[in-house]
Chains A and B, each alone.
Chain A
Amino acid sequence: EIVMTQSPATLSVSPGERATLSCRASQSVSSNLAWYQQKPGQAPRLLIYGASTRATGIPARFSGSGSGTEFTLTISSLQSEDFAVYYCQQYNNWPPLFTFGPGTKVDIK
């Protein structure tokens, strides 16, 4: 099983600042990585797939990069609605075994 780790566990950022979240896979997943945002009491929302492709309707301030085992989600200028938990998820297995990272909580500094 591919194990996903995320750092930091919590990131305190001021509105308007840049946030950089990291995700690491225990073995190469190529570019088969997605990012999700989850707010309290809500379902996760897809942000990024294919490591760097924004999902429909996702603002350009969200960007993803990386391949292999190291990935980054960057939020260029944090808005109030961006304070949430962010999860990465790999999809490199056959048969499918989708695994998520433990999440990074972005909160207000």
Chain B
Amino acid sequence: QVQLQESGPGLVKPSGTLSLTCAVSGGSISSSNWWSWVRQPPGKGLEWIGEIYHSGSTNYNPSLKSRVTISVDKSKNQFSLKLSSVTAADTAVYYCARRIAVAGDWYFDLWGRGTLVTVSS
């Protein structure tokens, strides 16, 4: 079955760039799904960051759009997140997720286990 696995540094300095990768295994990233990033600050709720299709088309949360870049590497079956100019407010567990788009229903049916990224000097 398809699995998602996040990887990347767990500590990023303020004003730096957070970089994470999500590896897709057991299936192709070129399937008819979108691939998303969602984050969750410690003890708080979920915030959608953005998503990418295998063609390279992207959608971003307007609140983060100026700082976010999501890219896809079909040869490696993975997609990546870059978040620039980070502050302590960006400290969170970052999840990658598969977003289904079928018959008008859009939902996240598959999630990675999440990775905690702390912004601190």
Does B107 contact A91, Cβ atoms closer than 8 Å? yes
A3 interfacial by beta-carbon distance below 8 Å? no
Q: How many residues of A contact B (CB 8 A)?
A: 25
In contact, A100 and B59 (Cβ under 8 angstroms): no
B contact residues, total (Cβ < 8 Å): 23
A65-109 to B contact mask, C-beta < 8 Å, 1/0:
000000000000000000000010101000111111111000000
Pairwise interchain contact A46-B108, C-beta atoms closer than 8 A: yes
Q: Is B95's CB under 8 angstroms from A95's CB?
A: no
- Stretch from B14-22, B40-48, B68-76 contacting the other chain: B40-48
Within 8 A of A (CB), among B32-82: 36, 45-48, 51, 59, 61-62
Report B-chain residues with C-beta under 8 Å of the C-beta of A44: 46, 95, 108, 111
Given contacts A43-B113, A99-B48, A100-B45, contact A49 B105 (CB under 8 A): yes
Q: Which of A53, A95, A98 contacts B48 (CB 8 A)?
A: A98
Near B by CB (< 8 A), chain A positions 27-53 give 32, 34, 36, 42-46, 49-50, 53
Q: List 12 contacting pairs A-B, 8 Å CB cutoff, sorted by A.
A: A32-B105, A43-B114, A45-B111, A46-B107, A49-B107, A50-B105, A91-B106, A96-B59, A96-B106, A98-B36, A98-B106, A100-B46
Partner-A contacts on B (CB < 8 A): 36, 45-48, 51, 59, 61-62, 95, 97, 99-100, 104-109, 111-114
